[in-house]
Amino acid sequence: MNLLIMGKPGAGKGTLASILQDNYHITHISTGNIFREEIAKRSPLGLAVENFITKGELVPDELTNQIVKSVLSEGDFPNGFMLDGYPRTKDQAMALDLILAELNMPLNFVVDIEVEDDVLLQRITGRRVCSQCNTIYHITLHPSTKIDVCDVCGGELIQREDDKEESVKNRIRIYNQKTEPLLDYYRQKGLVVTLDGRFKREDVFEFVEMKLGVTHGNN
């Protein structure tokens, strides 16, 4: 199954994707994670995008489209893929249509995670992520067993550079301006399904079964 996962910063895109990857083996592709990994490596791509990310600005479309095209062309997706955080602009949505048509990999659903604005800041400011394996935690909503240590791999938990209030507000503003309108485009294609952003783990299984039509463990 091929999915897009959409939602405001802090809506729970990465959290949902990790549940779906672990339980349904759908491959998680997050442009944000790709960029952050390149920044950590100090690669030329990382250095080129660092400033945009820290300020909460979008990385230019051409660069982002090239990366997604190469990941989708070179990867192997036996159970499909989930794009988390892409597309974010009309230009990216058009590019994605072309890429998927060329690769003959149609989209099945666009999952839109809906969350009230006042929850987003609380979620983002309390978020911690593993510096090694990207597992997502929250200091009160979803804490690790040992403070600042990843339960999965023992890596150090850190705060993202772009999780400062100024940058978060910018990310939300840009989402409303440039990304939200894409939902209408996908609604017209009949692809959008909505998930309440207050989801618990078990709600995700019900959602997948009821809305995406997949039985747990069958994929």
Residues near Mg ion, by CB under 5 A: 13-14
Q: Print the binding letters for residues 26-65 with ligand AP5: x by CB under 6 A, - otherwise.
A: ----xxx--x----------------xx--xxxx----x-
DSSP lists the bridge partners of residue 158 as: 129
Q: Out of 15, 27, 134, 135, which residue is the one contacting ligand AP5 (CB under 6 A)?
A: 15
Cis ω on the peptide bond leading into residue 143 (within 30° of 0)? no
Q: What is the DSSP letter of 175?
A: I
Q: Out of 2, 3, 6, 7, which residue is the one contacting ligand AP5 (CB under 6 A)?
A: 7
Calpha distance 133→91 (Å, rounded): 31
Write down the least CB distance from residue 12 to Mg ion, Å.
8
Q: What are the Cα distances from residue 11, in Å, to 81, 115, 137, 156?
A: 19, 6, 13, 23
- Out of 69, 160, 164, 169, pick the active-site residue: 160
Active-site annotation holds for 178: no
Pick from ligand AP5, Mg ion, none: which does 164 bind, CB < 5 to 8 A by kind? none
Task: List the interface residues with ligand AP5, window 76-95 (CB under 6 A).
Answer: 85-86, 88, 92
Nearer to ligand AP5, 109 or 137 (CB): 137
Write down the least CB distance from residue 102 to Mg ion, Å.
27
Pick from Mg ion, ligand AP5, none: which does 179 bind, CB < 5 to 8 A by kind? none
In this structure, are residues 111 and 16 in contact, taking their beta carbons and an 8 Å threshold?
yes
Is residue 182 helix, strand or coil? Answer: helix
Write down the least CB distance from residue 56 to Mg ion, Å.
13
Is residue 195 helix, strand or coil? Answer: strand
Q: What are the Cα distances from residue 197, in Å, to 13, 19, 42, 158?
A: 9, 14, 34, 23
- Cβ burial of 84 (10 Å; 0-12, 13-18, 19+) is buried
Nearer to ligand AP5, 77 or 199 (CB): 199
Report the interhelical angle of 13-24 vs 201-211 (nearest 10°): 70
| Residues lying near ligand AP5 in the complex (CB under 6 A) | 7, 9-15, 30-32, 35, 52-53, 56-59, 64, 85-86, 88, 92, 123-124, 126-127, 136-138, 141-142, 162, 171, 197-199
